[in-house]
Amino acid sequence: MKPSSQPFALVIHGGAGVIERDQLSADEERSIRVDLDAALEAGRRILASGGSALDAVEAAVVALEESPRFNAGKGSVYNAEGRHELDASIMEGKTRRAGAVAGVETIRNPVRLARAVMERSPHVMMISAGAERFADTQPQIERVSNGWFDTDARRAQLDQEQARERSEPGDESLRGKYFGTVGAVALDSQGNLAAATSTGGMTNKRYGRVGDSPLIGSGTWADERCAVSGTGWGEFFIRNAVAHDIAARMAYGGNTLVVAAESVILQRVPEFGGDGGAIAVDLDGNIAMPFSTAGMYRGWIAMDGSRGIAIFRD
């Protein structure tokens, strides 16, 4: 049966990185696909009932934050001190409103706090202790202890990384140390676009390191033409203003969404030594999901009604 078309589009990601087919058991892969599909469904329900792109990306990202399988919310990676510091951002295209938080430690769903910064404060970004104090004034924001984000799998990754560091002192390359950041982009039936991204950052990060995910224009961007959420080696995404560069190539260069996204992710970022992926949607409902890594967890519902989940280059 041919899927029926609808006036909205939604794309989600659960992170790009070194995802090798032979390292993912059939059970793990199945669970990841189930969680990606549930996040897609959370966003779809909102869009199908005429809801906003902003609500849809928030709902999809909350669903992914709740899954221990992704590096955002529950299941976030550990920093060098064995704690979790979470980053998130959200942006609405037409109004260019945006909100972001970085280095928060007790916020169950950081994307919700990012939205609160956007809607309930005059600011765009709040960090660490200040963001936590702002959360104290927002009763709708659920708090948890830092240990609530713990998972055995992430602890094992930290132990492995710290053992590697001890055996190869001086090797500070971050390549391959990110994984599982989540994000969503959507076009709603009113023609509005929105994007959101949430992450625990990189395993073994230190000194208050913040990546691209909470930075508007780097990890997240939405305007009247397109919405973008990135995942990858954050330092390179910051240095190349990745999310905004994709939008700029469309606005000033007349690129299509796919050409713009592929030029930045497959050429520009690797040229400088970085890697990663991005998801993007434009005003016409075109979608792009390029990545330069082995895999990127992703899911989409296109305007023609087609729907899918993918991990590798298949």
Question: CB under 6 A: which stretch of 93-101, 122-130, 151-159, 172-180 binds ligand ASP?
Answer: 172-180
The verdict on 231 binding ligand ASP (CB under 6 A) reads: yes
The verdict on 85 binding ligand ASP (CB under 6 A) reads: no
Extract the tokens encoding 47.
């869009």
Calculate helix-pair angle for 53-66, 110-120, nearest 10 degrees: 150
Is 8 or 178 the residue whose CB approaches ligand ASP more closely? 178
Name the minimum Å distance from CB 7 to ligand ASP.
30
The verdict on 221 binding ligand ASP (CB under 6 A) reads: no
Q: Residue from 202, 261, 280, 283 that binds ligand ASP (CB under 6 A)?
A: 202
What are the start-end ranges of the E strands in 238-314?
Answer: 276-282, 287-288, 295-301, 307-310
The verdict on 292 binding ligand ASP (CB under 6 A) reads: no
Q: For the chain, how many helices (H) and strands (E)?
A: 9, 12
DSSP at 108: S
The verdict on 199 binding ligand ASP (CB under 6 A) reads: yes
Name the minimum Å distance from CB 71 to ligand ASP.
6
Half-sphere exposure of 70 (CA within 13 A, CB side): 35
Name the minimum Å distance from CB 59 to ligand ASP.
20
**Residue 309 near residue 40 (C-beta atoms within 8 A):** yes
Closest residue to bound ligand ASP by CB: 234
Round to the nearest angstrom and report the end-to-end CA distance of the chain: 22
Q: What angle do CA 307, 309, 314 make, to 5 degrees?
A: 110
The verdict on 178 binding ligand ASP (CB under 6 A) reads: yes
Q: Which residues are catalytic?
A: 181
Is 201 or 285 the residue whose CB approaches ligand ASP more closely? 201
Which residue is it, tokens 């990601």? 13
The verdict on 289 binding ligand ASP (CB under 6 A) reads: no
CB atoms within 10 A of CB 65: 29
| Interface with ligand ASP in residues 127-156 (CB under 6 A) | none
The verdict on 213 binding ligand ASP (CB under 6 A) reads: yes
| Site mask for ligand ASP (CB under 6 A), range 10-49, x = bound | -----x----------------------------------
Is 188 or 212 the residue whose CB approaches ligand ASP more closely? 212
What are the start-end ranges of the E strands in the chain?
Answer: 9-17, 86-92, 98-104, 125-127, 182-187, 193-199, 220-222, 226-232, 276-282, 287-288, 295-301, 307-310
Q: Residue from 51, 75, 201, 217 that binds ligand ASP (CB under 6 A)?
A: 201
Contact positions toward ligand ASP, by CB under 6 A?
15, 71, 178-181, 199, 201-202, 211-213, 231-232, 234, 237
